[in-house]
Chains A and B, each alone.
Chain A
């Protein structure tokens, strides 16, 4: 028998809410099948089962919040005999919220009138005026605001990010190396490629960066993995996590699995699908748990460079800025080239400056031969 546990779906996730079961007792499952949906601070995650067999018993009811590691279901392997029913884990009833004295509303007359016109419940409006006074803009925002559940999720996402980044800053001895990369060959190759491709098959330069990051990890594999308590734990697979900014704030960094062995076409398709699902709040558990390194690219925001914070328990993060045209000297000749600022933040417990420098130099070298990516 195998026990399906509440997985860790984020660096500082301590609990998750089982939203729905997608398999029932008696259903056959294969490794990788989606078995449940779990709500986290960031999104509803489709959780995959990591063993095959038959669903023997579901232990937790939908709507229940349980700590990470709590048994959720029992999976009977092929050929195994049925087992005795397992007791459902004890779940603590949520504490009632502390009693609050009634709040006297501070609200402008025009805001009150607008709330009546728009049918907005003033008790749900957050005032941003002096002393928490509710203003017209607050009512307008509440009228067009996302449902309370979505607003709560955004707040919880911010808390989750704050916890993860605080942990990163506290526990990981970061150091940084940077490189200015000549992108002229890569962008020229990309333009020629896209000119001969239909619109639906075009590549973004971001996939060239992702592939170069992945292939360079073969040369410096200690940057591809995790810090496991007291030692480095390199990963055999290279799953590049892509930092995706979410509409309304927040970000997630789901994995593109096996980035180093995926063709550019497949990578572009997967990248496009991943970004769409990330922004729709529809990611799979393995996409959140499997990144072995993360890439953050802020070029779209117009900045020339970024020095990132590593997502624990990973040991590195690569950052890219926007492509800028600058004077460039090569072999004694001066020209203007499109350049990009690349950075590597690395965990000094795992790697030293020499190896970090070799890694970033490898990324640069790979981008000079885009046809081989």
Chain B
């Protein structure tokens, strides 16, 4: 997948977890938790959904790398190529 496709996937998955998230205003380099009302349960569901969508195993130690939209794309790009 291209970075653009990964970004769309991340935003779609995020939208299912946090429906109030507006992709047009989400700052890609700012933590999701600083922009959206999501908690650790939401984040776990987010990681599981990415895993199920992309087949990527995400160790708990790597969670901080998925804290932002840019971070997610970079991490998933490395994991899927």
Contact = CB atoms under 8 A, between A and B. Distances in A.
Interface of A: 191, 194-195, 198-200, 202, 204, 206, 245, 247-248, 271-272, 275-276, 300
Nearest to A275: B41
Given A191-B60, A194-B60, A272-B41, A199 B48 contact: yes
A204 B41 contact: yes
Contact of B59 (A195, A245, A276): A195
Interface of B: 18-20, 37, 39-41, 44-45, 47-48, 51, 57-61
Contacts, number: 35
Contacts of B47: 199
Given A191-B60, A194-B60, A247-B20, A199 B51 contact: yes
Which 9 residue pairs across A and B have the least CB separation, nearest first? A300-B39, A194-B60, A199-B51, A275-B41, A204-B40, A200-B48, A199-B58, A199-B48, A199-B47
Q: Is the interface of A mostly helix, strand, loop or mixed?
A: helix
A140 B57 CA distance: 40
21 contacts: A191-B60, A194-B60, A195-B60, A195-B61, A198-B57, A199-B57, A199-B58, A200-B48, A200-B51, A202-B60, A204-B41, A206-B40, A206-B41, A245-B39, A247-B20, A271-B41, A272-B41, A272-B44, A275-B41, A276-B45, A300-B40
A275 B57 CA distance: 24
Contacts of A195: 59-61
Given A199-B57, A202-B60, A247 B37 contact: yes
A248 B59 CA distance: 31
Nearest to A271: B41
Contacts of A276: 45
Nearest to A248: B20
A144 B5 CA distance: 27
Contact of A202 (B37, B39, B44): B44
B46 to A, nearest CB: 11
B60 A247 contact: no
A267 B39 CA distance: 18
Nearest to B59: A195
